[in-house]
Structure 1
């Protein structure tokens, strides 16, 4: 098992630093992702907590707070998992995460009960990690938040993440 992880680590490093495409079979627990909103960074770690690569990212709103309601353009915070991967006509590739999950609903319902958000508010959905519009990767370089709550990075980086991270990979979004 350890040699398989070492092989997966080597393949990930090659995929992250070259145009090499990952051809192996990584398991959902071989990697995890931490997205730090305050640093505008997405970091990938292996199962042994070794840092592998960091990519710059941007979000929705300039307000980096936790997502409250549908349409607020904020990126949710918490622990999620990649639930689907697909090519995307506008943003290169799309790694869908399981927002809203049980943790998200719990925070949402507590905020409703406290009157922080309206009783008729909706939680939203369709959050993921994706690329940028064609020829607009400068938004990532300039830290221009433009999404509806998703995490966006350069297309070359989303291609590498798409090739390596399997469905089921844990994604932690924090501030």
Structure 2
């Protein structure tokens, strides 16, 4: 009887392990073991974002921008993507746009300018996936964020650490 119980417990444990393995096969959380991403560079005019290790390009992505992409974001609701030097400052694993990493907009200069014209600078600027958008995901459609396909966002989320500088060029 003791041997039979051990066999049944072993079989039950095997089913639990196999069941858990089947559930975790399509995780949106990836791992990255390559060179550290030391900077992110966005070229708005080319709709391109590059991840660098020092001066070497590690990855290049096609991107979507704010629905009014020309010019620097100055006020809340203008549909523009910021320009200048910012930093990755947070991450959201439960983003309604799959995954997202935050950009440190607005900085002190952005806040001062908006205040000088009696407006709010806006905020909540992220690099994020495309799930959650009800449109066709083509062209520029965000409120100022940078969007990439979900699978690419999974890689970016794994590769880019908080504190990484992001240069957003016109």
TM superposition score normalised by structure 1? 0.71
Alignment of 1:170 with 2:165, yes or no, is yes
Give the structure 1 partner of residue 9 of structure 2: none
Contact 1:78/1:104 (8 A) holds in 2:
no
The verdict on how the C-alpha distance between 1:136 and 1:78 changes in structure 2, with shifts beyond 3 A counting, is same
2: CA distance, partners of 1:33 / 1:60: 18
Give the structure 1 partner of residue 101 of structure 2: 95
Report the secondary structure of 2:101's partner residue: strand
Number of paired residues? 142
1: CA distance, partners of 2:66 / 2:133: 19
Give the structure 1 partner of residue 131 of structure 2: 133
Residue 70 of structure 1, CA deviation: 0.5
Residue 137 of structure 1, CA deviation: 9.7
The verdict on how the C-alpha distance between 1:161 and 1:136 changes in structure 2, with shifts beyond 3 A counting, is farther
Contact 1:137/1:155 (8 A) holds in 2:
no
List per-residue Cα deviations over 1:128-165 (Å, max 9, x = no partner). 100002597962xx4x1111111111111110010011
List per-residue Cα deviations over 1:53-82 (Å, max 9, x = no partner). 110111112442111210111111111111
Which blocks of at least 5 consecutive residues in structure 2 are unaligned? 1-28
Which blocks of at least 5 consecutive residues in structure 1 are unaligned? 1-18, 113-118
2: CA distance, partners of 1:134 / 1:100: 24
1: CA distance, partners of 2:103 / 2:141: 18
1: CA distance, partners of 2:49 / 2:35: 22
Report the secondary structure of 1:105's partner residue: helix
The verdict on how the C-alpha distance between 1:103 and 1:120 changes in structure 2, with shifts beyond 3 A counting, is closer
1: CA distance, partners of 2:72 / 2:95: 28
1: CA distance, partners of 2:132 / 2:123: 24
Give the structure 1 partner of residue 122 of structure 2: 124
Give the structure 1 partner of residue 31 of structure 2: 21
Residue 85 of structure 1, CA deviation: 1.2
